[in-house]
Structure 1
Amino acid sequence: MALEKNPISLVHFMAYPGPGNTRSVQRGEARAEYLLHTLEEVLNDPYFQGVEITYIKNDQIRAKVADLLKASGKRVIFGAQPVQLINEDGLIPPGDISCPDEVGRRQAVQRLKKCLEQAYELGAVDFGLISGADPGAASGLDRREAAKTQLLRSLHELCVYAGELAQKQGRTPIRITLELFDRSTEPGHKNQLIGPAREAVELARIMQDAYGHRNFGLLYDLSHMPLIKGRSFNAETPEVLRELAPFLNHVHIGTCVTNPEDKLYGDSHPRLDYPGSAVTQEMLADFLKMLVDIGYEGGIGFEVVPYGDELSSAVVRSTQTIFDIARNRIDVNYCLGTFYFQPRRFFNETWFDMLNELRVSRPNAVAEAAAARRRRSTLTEDGKLVIVAADHPARRVTRVGSDPTAMGDRMSYLGRIVRTLLGKGVDGVMATPDIIEELLLIDVLLKEKGRKEGILDGKLVIGSMNRSGLAGVEYEMDDRLTAMTVEHLKQLNCDGGKLLLRIDPGRHSRYSIATMAYCAQAVSDCRKAGLPVFVEPLPVEETPEGYKVVMTPDALIQTIGVATSLGGSAHHMWIKVPYVNDYHRVVKATTLPILMLGGASKENPLPTIREFEQGMGEGANVRGVMVGRNVLYCGKDDPLAVVEAIAMIVHQGAGMDEAVRHLAAARGRSYDWFETLI
């Protein structure tokens, strides 16, 4: 589950505002029995690791609350925002701590110092506050810039005072956390100076770098996001969290209402499933994905308010449920965080140069390694297979995303292949002879470094046979056995061969017919040699951008029927076809075992993992995958982690949720595998 290590808190003064949903808690005037009972309810809920409270006027009640909080051992956050927003008796100017009037600013600071004293008394670790009203920019930016200067002065004084109080008590200084709000003067809005994320970041950078207050940071509230307008005058999006990340002390989960006709219009914090909620499930999920992506480890507070006859406990439970649904989503759990796979960190120039030297100085090393490789006694150990495909460059296919030659970088390519072969549940590799030879030479080097087993020992090695169907050439469908024949398979001690049969019913159909003949002969030769053969029959059509696979069940069904009749017998034949809609119809086209392919790199493994999960459930003869680019080039992700997730689905029958959780946990494992051998 995503964000499970982040402490979750509840903004108590919002969720439990007072008896009958009055606002006595926010005013600091709640009766003892209500305040203590509702706090106990939150503190006794194992879901929450913290609670967010505000000013309490009564000394005796506050002392009881302090004892209760201390006994709970849970995280305490003090929110001074209600004190500032209510502004009892209207004694402080709207500008609050950013007020241009020096007397008003000092009064506002003094009020917050009193709140700070109470925050320490209650054992708080964070202190939340707001900037004060935005003076606007109707007559230029001078007033706003002056207000920011005053705000910096005030925040500096508060940070200093927090440090002095901490020193007296012999404890760590409380964190001063400024919350970001909208700048709208419409009803239901807060119209605060801070403000857009970019300006908040500028201020936080000054506070930390110029003033040296490392205990200063920011609070970003999801419910404010649709209301805060950046310099483009558009509402902010979760992307702002990337900019805020270095200064983010805390986040809130809540919602607002952006429909002016709604009675709760504005920054009202209704329950997340309120019909007029501006924060949708997708927006919540995107927000959580971004928190995972930036590696956020701080606290997450729920800020929701019951209205009318709504029960506080029911609103809290619904928030927990909706939040858990979002953070349990596969796309949220998949998020990479700060990780990105660096192939050269795993397999570097030192090893690449050793391979080159080995090819020159010991030309017989390949044959020796092939003969010494420990082969499996059976093709499959549980009736299923996960094979890594690595034969694309031989057919002039090197593009990944926008990079036309990504797979042409052989050091990166080899590193990615080896990375997948280290994955648990991977049965072997299907590759062209040059790749197989390089993997065998890596095994020679590994054994010289003291390893008893190479990466190919106990794995299947499948040789890719026909590779003359070069992408983009005129006679691409004429796909001859230019990579390996059966004799070559035997020389490299391979466990089987793989053939590609693309059928173009158009103007170049005669070349597809010729390729059928090459494949038929190869199937027959493999059978005579006792080698299994993996046939990849694909229906294709010519387009202005080149040949494309026809991804319809009818086309695949027709093509499978052609492939299974090749070469005199389908004995020891496996079929390799992509997953498509109505796959249950496709798999009924043959009794032969089927492996699913991944296709062109999507640069995000989730769609491929989902397809494989669905495909494995569509028929008993779906026996695994033979996948290349979507594992080797899975965006920024780790090929080892991705292939292990796929292997869990194939070999263990795992669901996608379990597989993705494993993927996230496996990222970066054995990253220094080669380095430790040097």
Structure 2
Amino acid sequence: MTALTEEDFHRLRTVRAESPHTIRETLAGRRRRDIIRGDGRLFIIAADHPARGALAVGGSPFAMADRYELLDRLAIALRHPGVDGVLGTPDIIDDLAMLGLLDDKIVVGSMNRGGLRGATFEMDDRYTGYDVPAMVDSGIDFAKALLRVNLDDDGTAPTLASTADAVTAAARADLPIMLEPFLSRRVDGRVVNDLSPDAVMLSIAIASGLGASSASTWLKLPVVDDMERVLAATTLPVLLLGGDAGADPDDTFSSWEDALSLPGVRGLTVGRTLLYSSDIDVASAIDVAASLVHPGLTA
């Protein structure tokens, strides 16, 4: 199943080369929607992985490297009535805007992270994508920032400071911002996130206190054990993140369904788990997830 044609991609390449000014105009002029409407829940498709060098899915190290295939999969997802929006870095969002896929959708701008996987500077997570003024100027609806806290790495201090500045700027601009916090550490030379309930609760406490105001802050949290106790750590609105793309889809959907029923959870922000599942096609995966977030929806 494909959603886009070679003509679509030709038009996109032509615009980028010959009239790039129309990209910003198209993005700023798209038809926007309220963040919260209907049942008050959100289903956001995440596509911010490539810009941080995370191209692997399962056993395929370059599964997300083909931009045309990624855009096609995103088009299938965004044309589903149960998908409320998309999360991406400027390159992805610009492509989707020019393909006409962002009308009546929530656009979440990824501030991205500078600490690329495997780099000697991996914990130096200075922001390298959108900033708050650019998002406001471009009509972006929501901001997103990853926050990895490594208590054994000096790079965490400037990361905390820059994240606090972003939260403050977002609150002043009335721009919602979702923080994706983790307690991280190096294990055998690799940075891994601690997904124990206690570690997630500690990351919530740290993230919630950043910035001069928490009025615009949301949290993007993993589904872990003892989720009811974890969610008791915050009054902030929560979106659940997707998890391992290689996990059994039935187990994944079941864990999402259970977590979505808990107080404070407002929906899902999921990417590779749905876009590149080896067990179910994109349209079917999106359909199942949408039915979990919006039970009253008929696709």
TM-score by length of 2: 0.94
Task: List per-residue Cα deviations over 1:408-431 (Å, max 9, x = no partner).
Answer: 110011111111111221110010
Distance 1:516 1:548 in 2: 18
**Structure 2 residue aligned with 1:503:** 149
**Structure 1 residue aligned with 2:130:** 484
**Structure 1 residue aligned with 2:288:** 645
SS at match of 1:614: helix
1:187-586 correspondence to structure 2 within 5 Å: 345-443=2-100, 455-506=101-152, 508=153, 510-544=154-188, 546-586=190-230
Residue identity (%): 39
Distance 2:209 2:150 in 1: 18
1:623 alignment partner, one of 258, 262, 266: 266
Q: Which has the greater radius of gyration?
A: 1
Amino acid aligned to 2:281: D
Task: List per-residue Cα deviations over 1:576-605 (Å, max 9, x = no partner).
Answer: 010011000100000111111013312653
- Whether contact under 8 Å (1:369, 1:441) holds in the other structure is yes
Distance 1:545 1:625 in 2: 31
SS at match of 2:277: coil
- Whether contact under 8 Å (2:245, 2:277) holds in the other structure is yes
SS at match of 1:568: coil
CA distance 1:523–1:605, change in 2 (3 Å): same
Kindly state the Cα deviation for residue 434 of structure 1 after the two structures are TM-superposed.
0.4
Distance 1:380 1:469 in 2: 35
Amino acid aligned to 2:65: G
Gaps of 5+ in 1: 1-341, 444-454, 655-661, 667-678
- Whether contact under 8 Å (1:429, 1:462) holds in the other structure is yes
- Whether contact under 8 Å (1:422, 1:640) holds in the other structure is no
Gaps of 5+ in 2: none
RMSD over equivalenced CA pairs, Å: 1.8
Distance 1:461 1:380 in 2: 15
Distance 1:488 1:560 in 2: 27
SS at match of 2:147: strand
SS at match of 2:159: helix
Kindly state the Cα deviation for residue 380 of structure 1 after the two structures are TM-superposed.
4.1
Question: How many residues were matched structurally?
Answer: 299
CA distance 1:563–1:623, change in 2 (3 Å): same
Distance 1:456 1:608 in 2: 27
Distance 1:599 1:494 in 2: 25
Amino acid aligned to 2:49: H
Amino acid aligned to 2:173: A
Kindly state the Cα deviation for residue 502 of structure 1 after the two structures are TM-superposed.
0.6
TM-score by length of 1: 0.43
SS at match of 2:109: strand
SS at match of 2:93: helix
Task: List per-residue Cα deviations over 1:169-218 (Å, max 9, x = no partner).
Answer: xxxxxxxxxxxxxxxxxxxxxxxxxxxxxxxxxxxxxxxxxxxxxxxxxx
- Whether contact under 8 Å (2:58, 2:246) holds in the other structure is yes
Distance 2:211 2:18 in 1: 41
Kindly state the Cα deviation for residue 636 of structure 1 after the two structures are TM-superposed.
4.9
Distance 2:66 2:135 in 1: 25
Kindly state the Cα deviation for residue 349 of structure 1 after the two structures are TM-superposed.
3.4
SS at match of 1:514: helix
What stretches of structure 1 move > 4 A for 4+ residues in a row? none
1:41-80 correspondence to structure 2 within 5 Å: none
Name the structure with the higher strand share. 2
SS at match of 1:557: helix
1:45-194 correspondence to structure 2 within 5 Å: none
Kindly state the Cα deviation for residue 346 of structure 1 after the two structures are TM-superposed.
3.5
CA distance 1:650–1:377, change in 2 (3 Å): closer
1:588 paired with 2:245, answer: no
Distance 2:172 2:13 in 1: 36
Task: List per-residue Cα deviations over 1:549-585 (Å, max 9, x = no partner).
Answer: 2111000001100001111111021100100110001
